[in-house]
Amino acid sequence: MLLPVYTMGGIMELYFGPAGVPNSSPERSTEGGIRHVAGLGLGCMEMQFVRGVKMGETAARAVGKLAKEKGIALSAHGPYYINLNAREREKIAASQERLLHSVRIASLCGARTVVFHAAFYLNDPPDKVYPVVKKNLQEVLNRLRFDQTGVWLRPEVTGKATQFGTLEEVLRLSSELEGVAPCIDFAHLHARTGKFNSYAEFAAILEQTERKLGRAALDNIHIHVSGIKYGEKGEIKHLNMTESDFDYVNFTRALKDFKVKGLVISESPNLEGDALLLQRTYRSLG
């Protein structure tokens, strides 16, 4: 369920930025990354909590203050060690704690999004996994107050057939749970099937999202993208855009035509290189 659209600095547009501290950043800290992102002329950065949240509360407040000063929108990628379909109750509880902790720290940073990979199927049929993930995610939401944190939990469209997170599953969770919105990973969508690499298919994804969640979803989108190498089982590895087959020109054109607003995070190996390429391409379109 989508709550009212938040605005960043009063102006809501489409921001481009890297997944983590830019490669070319002389300072490797989150704050150094924010300064560098601002210097490059990009608009956002996704903090990587993927190996656990290492940031404390004081540091998070300082990060939030700097991001606001520099006009950089932040999001966070939650830990990889999350499986809301784990067999053991303690693993589910630990996954829920990791999400809660990520949201609390992200909120202190002024971030409005925590992305996460929700679950693995563990060979269970997907229609059995969905209600389990939903219930366990609902328990997390019950312990958060969206009106206090302002943070969206965003299950990601994943890239491997073993991972929960088709576009349909992610949109359905977003429509049924308050405070949940999608992270649409276009590289993963492409890798899962080899499809979704033309203007018509990009447009169809955006249309499907709007149909399911309303216009608010396109006014508050969160996108991951990169070049990608894929095989029978989906994702193999991320590639730089220009070394891959991804049609980023038509991708940016679809974002422009649909007047999509929110964050576009580059997960290419060259991080800021492709964020800049996408931003440049997007701005060059009439």
Which residues lie near Zn ion (CB under 5 A)? 156
CB of 140 to Zn ion, least distance (A): 17
Q: Closer CB to Zn ion, residue 156 or residue 247? A: 156
* 17 within 8 A of 72, measured Cβ to Cβ: yes
Q: How far is the CB of 170 from Zn ion (least distance, A)?
A: 12
By beta-carbon proximity to Zn ion, the closer residue of 19 and 66 is 19
Please tell me the distance from the alpha carbon of residue 100 to that of residue 177, in angstroms, as a whole number.
Answer: 16
Q: Return the structure tokens found at 24.
A: 């070319």
Amino acid identity, position 192: R
Q: 63's torsion region: left (phi>0), alpha (psi -120 to 50) or beta?
A: alpha
* Residue whose C-beta lies closest to Zn ion: 156
CB of 118 to Zn ion, least distance (A): 11
Q: Least distance in Å: CB of 211 to Zn ion?
A: 24
| Smallest separation, CB 69 to Zn ion (Å) | 28
In degrees and rounded to multiples of 5, residue 43 shows phi and psi of -115, -10
- CB-based contacts of 243: which residues, under 8 Å, 6+ apart? 227
Q: Say if residues 96 and 140 touch (Cβ distance below 8 Å).
A: yes
Residues in the chain: 286
Select 156 or 169, whichever has its Cβ closest to Zn ion: 156
Dihedral pair phi/psi, residue 56, rounded to 5°:
-90, 180
CB of 186 to Zn ion, least distance (A): 12
